[in-house]
């Protein structure tokens, strides 16, 4: 929230100008345009015109439409594939040049190593794209820690607030949902995972959204991965 998303907002126009002619950037634009068409009935949506003209003025008009659309989506905290794909490509460039690094709480890596030593598998499921996940963990403050994860999932498997997504993940990794512990800071995601019969712990970290009294009393809460005591895999 303090580094990755502000980087997108602050550098989007410059990134588009620099990469506009590249096929990857044009694929991102086409996906955003398609999403804008699907969002046409929503309040405040910013349409992205087709690239039908030429000249510097037309290019700037198109770039501004993309910037306004992305800022609109981000302001609503949307999780569309189109948005996440563009963000992932921007972050890749920023990580590769050292402009940003993935920041991890100090308890994360020791805990994951301990779980893996106990025979457990660890997967990431995030609203951020798989590519963005791999960048965060590949260029982290702890170095490249991708080897600690057995797989990655994003919203292509389904929204994190729908129980069917967790069933699909379980099927994909060959595991019953009741053998999965899902960690999240979002109660709606926790509810969806529980509905799929997965175990859940809600993580309370500095900067996370607050919980209601009912949520605090209902869910198992942890503030550090070191608080988890998991049984060894059988």
Contacts of 202 (CB under 8 A, 6+ apart): 183, 184, 185, 187, 190, 211, 215, 219, 220, 221, 222
Q: What is the pLDDT of residue 230?
A: 72
Question: Quick one: tokens of 35?
Answer: 């999403």
Residue 161 maps to a domain: yes
Residue 232 maps to a domain: no
Asked if 84 and 112 sit in the same domain, the reply is no
Q: Phi first, then psi: what are they for 200, rounded to 5°?
A: -140, 140
- pLDDT, one tens digit per residue, over 60-87 is 999 999 999 999 999 999 989 899 999 9
Residue 49 CA neighbour count, 13 Å, CB half: 12
Asked if 28 and 91 sit in the same domain, the reply is yes
Asked if 15 and 114 sit in the same domain, the reply is no
Give the end of a domain, one of 60, 79, 97. 97
Q: What is the pLDDT of residue 19?
A: 95
Asked if 123 and 67 sit in the same domain, the reply is no
Residue 28 maps to a domain: yes
Asked if 83 and 130 sit in the same domain, the reply is no
CATH code for position 38: 1.10.720.60
Asked if 92 and 128 sit in the same domain, the reply is no
Q: What is the pLDDT of residue 232?
A: 58
Asked if 184 and 204 sit in the same domain, the reply is yes
User: Which residue range forms the structural domain that includes residue 29?
Assistant: 3-97
DSSP symbols for the chain: --SHHHHHHHHHHHHHHHHTTSHHHHHHHHHHHHHHHHTTTSTT----------SHHHHHHHHHHHHHHHHHHHHTT---HHHHHHHHHHHHHHHHTTS--B---TTHHHHHHHHHHTT---EEE-SS-HHHHHHHHHTBTTB--GGG-SEEE-TTS--TTSHHHHHHHHHHHT--GGG-EEEES-HHHHHHHHHTT-EEEEE--TTSPP--HHHHHHS-EESSGGG--PPPP-
The rounded mean pLDDT for the chain is 93
- pLDDT, one tens digit per residue, over 116-155 is 999 999 999 998 889 889 989 999 999 999 999 999 999 9
Q: What is the pLDDT of residue 98?
A: 86
Q: What is the pLDDT of residue 52?
A: 65
Q: What is the pLDDT of residue 234?
A: 44
Counting the structural domains of the chain, the total is 2
Asked if 90 and 125 sit in the same domain, the reply is no
Q: What is the pLDDT of residue 171?
A: 98
Give the end of a domain, one of 38, 62, 97. 97
10-residue mean pLDDT series, the chain (234 residues): 88 96 96 96 93 81 96 94 92 89 93 94 93 90 96 95 98 97 97 98 92 95 91 55
Q: Which of 123, 169, 127 is nearest to 149 (CA)?
A: 123
Asked if 210 and 117 sit in the same domain, the reply is yes
Residue 102 maps to a domain: no
Residue 73 maps to a domain: yes
């Amino acid at each position: 929230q303090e580094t990755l998303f502000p980087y997108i907002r602050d550098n989007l126009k410059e990134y588009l100008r620099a990469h506009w002619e590249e096929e990857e950037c044009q694929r991102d634009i086409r996906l955003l345009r398609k999403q804008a068409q699907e969002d046409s009935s929503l309040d405040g949506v910013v349409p992205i015109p087709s690239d039908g003209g030429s000249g510097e003025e037309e290019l700037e008009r198109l770039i501004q439409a993309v910037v306004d659309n992305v800022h609109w989506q981000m302001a609503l905290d949307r999780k569309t594939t189109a948005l996440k794909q563009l963000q992932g490509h921007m972050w890749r460039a920023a990580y590769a040049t050292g402009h940003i690094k993935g920041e991890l709480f100090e308890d994360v890596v020791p805990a994951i190593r301990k779980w893996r030593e106990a025979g457990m598998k660890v997967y990431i499921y995030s609203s951020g794209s798989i590519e963005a996940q791999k960048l965060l963990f590949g260029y982290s403050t702890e170095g490249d820690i991708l080897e600690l994860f057995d797989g990655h999932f994003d919203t292509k498997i389904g929204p994190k607030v729908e129980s069917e997504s967790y069933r699909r993940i379980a099927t994909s990794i060959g595991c019953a949902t009741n053998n999965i512990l899902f960690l999240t800071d979002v109660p709606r995601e926790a509810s969806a995972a529980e509905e799929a019969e997965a175990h859940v712990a809600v993580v309370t970290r500095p900067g996370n959204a607050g919980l209601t009294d009912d949520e605090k009393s209902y869910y198992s809460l942890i503030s550090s991965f070191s608080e988890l005591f998991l049984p060894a895999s059988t």
